[in-house]
Amino acid sequence: MIIIGIHKFFTSLNDLERIFRAPGRFKFEEHNVAAHSWKVSQYAMFFGTLEELNGATVNWKSLYEKTINHDFAEVFIGDIKTPVKHASVELKQMLAHVEEKMMEKFIREEIPPEFQEIFLERMKEGKDETLEGRLLEFSDKLDQFYESFAELKRGNTDKEFIIMYQQALEKLLKMPLDVSVRYFKEEILRDVISEETHINIAALTNEVLNKPDR
């Protein structure tokens, strides 16, 4: 008789600490997927609070479940660079399908039966049209923004981090979260631009802010 226990899931969490983001590039600071998920949950907690203080109703249970679990599937496929993942709609959909099927297989084989339906719900794609899904997407992109900012601040001239910084900034400014986006633009960006950096962050930022469609 095969007994399925939660042990395999718990040990797999260690694997997330060994999966590094933006693989193959020189970085002053390495960031792993486990730390990324924690940071995303912290960003979401702040911006969820901000939205709530401005009249929104936040499902905090859903928000925390979405943020801490959103990249668990990278245990199976690793961290795929954003430019690759978004190279085409078809590729993005294919990767999402692979992640979903591998996650489902893992849950069916490694999670005790009485918890499987709960895990299937918690581990599904969290970026959706709900407030919580949008906060997840905003927070996920914010961490990409901060990771690239940290590299540029210290003088990393790898062009990929310039692209990453500006793409993250553009997407953050276009998110359908008026309160969060306004706070990010008026408060956080002001502090970002005022920091002393080796690469001209203010110029890179204003390049995005001054685009005709902004």
Q: Say if residue 2's pLDDT is above 90.
A: no
Question: pLDDT band at residue 1, thresholds of 50, 70 and 90?
Answer: very low
Query: How large is the average pLDDT for residues 14-18?
Result: 92
- Residue 214: both structure tokens together: 């902004």
Query: Whats the size of the chain, residue-wise?
Result: 214
Question: pLDDT band at residue 81, thresholds of 50, 70 and 90?
Answer: low
Contacts of 7 (CB under 8 A, 6+ apart): none
Q: Which residue has the higher pLDDT, 81 or 16?
A: 16
pLDDT, residue 189, reads 96
Confidence (pTM): 0.89
Q: What residue has token string 């936040």?
A: 58
Q: Say if residue 92's pLDDT is above 80.
A: no
CB atoms within 10 A of CB 54: 12
Beta bridge partners of 32: 20
Query: How large is the average pLDDT for residues 17-45?
Result: 91
How many Å separate Cα 71 from the centre of its chain? 8
pLDDT, residue 87, reads 65
Beta bridge partners of 20: 32
Residue 84 Cα distances to 20, 76, 161, angstroms = 16, 17, 14
> What is the chain's mean pLDDT, rounded?
91
Q: How would you write the chain as a 3-class SS string?
A: CCCCCCHHHHHHHHHHCCCECCCCCCCCCCCEHHHHHHHHHHHHHHHHHHHHHCCCCCCHHHHHHHHHHCCCCHHHHCCCCHHHHCCCHHHHHHHHHHHHHHHHHHHHHHCCHHHHHHHHHHCCCCCCCCHHHHHHHHHHHHHHHHHHHHHHHCCCCCHHHHHHHHHHHHHHHHCCCHHHHHHHHHHHHHHHHHCCCCCCHHHHHHHHHCCCCC
Query: How large is the average pLDDT for residues 81-90?
Result: 68
Condensed to tens digits (0 to 9), the pLDDT of residues 42-78 reads: 999 999 999 999 999 999 999 999 999 999 988 887 7
Give the highest mean pLDDT range of 40-49, 96-105, 157-166.
40-49
